[in-house]
Amino acid sequence: MATEWAALSNDLAAAVERAGRSVVAVHARPRFSSSGVIWRPGVIVTAQHTIRREEDITVTLPDGSNRPVTLAGADAGTDIAVLRLAEPAGEPVAQPASGIKPGHVALGIGRSEDSGVNATLGIISAVSGPWRTWRGGRLDQYIRLDLTMFPASSGGLVVDSAGAAIGVATSALSRIAGLAIPAASINRALDEILSRGHVARPYLGVGLQPVALSDHQKGLIVLSTEAGGPAATAGVLIGDIFISVNGKPVADTDDVQSALETSRTGQTVDAEVLRGGAAARIRITLGERPRRS
């Protein structure tokens, strides 16, 4: 048994050492540094909520040196920020983990300027399908972590027992526990952030409220329209009742968000509405949702 424990301990230490080659300390807020992950050569991903300034950001690399970085952009909805190094350094993350299940071992790898690599051990306590955050972003999976979140943990790398990347740790998207921003979500957002500085999300530009209809069906009544917004431009009027968007029934505002998740700004969606008791179809060209900090 002692030999088995020693082997496990050595395996975990080796996984931390390998993962630590991709983890940096990020200095972009008062008092505490956060962590970041070298996701691609010269590109670092960290947690957006830990970035408190846009200039004079530095990182401590795995070799202990300090380098300036520039903020390429961020997405508050998924708590992702992207930093650029002038010259590539360190090692990009290993290939993403697959087949993540509740109960699997998870290692959270962070870095601080003073103590170097730090690690915390736990498990994946919950996994579900696509999940929309309270900040309005969408993650490919909800991955809840049962491990200690230290001040430098946010933005750090979460790996499985083999050292494969599960995602980036964040304490800002759930009041229950720390989460891992999935690698798939990071990869999807990264190209857009690098090209335009943010993630564009489509929206209709209407204020909606659920309403019960006479046939036990539910819909969403339009209480307001944004002047010059997508819905107003398409001819949507206050008092119209949305029944479906892109063929999907809508009974609350979450249904609208779900219907738009696979769409992009500039695309056209079909909305079915009731106007004065009569059904009508309106084609709406989606605009870009105003960004929030």
CA torsion, ordered 184, 185, 187, 190, to nearest 10 deg: 180
- The CATH T-level fold of domain 1-199 is Thrombin, subunit H (2.40.10)
- Read off the amino acid at residue 276: G
Q: For the chain, which residues make up each domain, given as ranges?
A: 1-199, 202-288
pLDDT given for residue 182 in this prediction: 96
Strands (E), 104-254: 105-112, 116-128, 131-132, 138-139, 142-146, 157-159, 165-170, 179-182, 202-203, 206-212, 218-225, 241-245, 248-249
- The CATH T-level fold of domain 202-288 is Pdz3 Domain (2.30.42)
Q: In a 10 Å sphere around its CB, with 0-12 CB exposed, 13-18 middle and 19+ buried, how is residue 233 labelled?
A: middle
* Whole-number Å distance between alpha carbons of 105 and 125: 9
pLDDT given for residue 98 in this prediction: 85
**Contacts of residue 61, Cβ cutoff 8 Å, sequence gap at least 6:** 24, 67, 89, 90
pLDDT at 21 over 50: yes
Q: How confident is the model at residue 105 (pLDDT cuts 50, 70, 90)?
A: very high
Q: Note whether 1-199 and 202-288 share their fold.
A: no
* Whole-number Å distance between alpha carbons of 117 and 16: 8
The arithmetic mean of pLDDT across residues 87-93, rounded, is 92
pLDDT digits (tens, 9 = 90+) for 129-165: 989 888 878 899 999 999 999 888 999 999 998 889 9
pLDDT digits (tens, 9 = 90+) for 199-232: 888 889 999 999 998 777 899 999 999 999 999 9
Q: How confident is the model at residue 97 (pLDDT cuts 50, 70, 90)?
A: confident
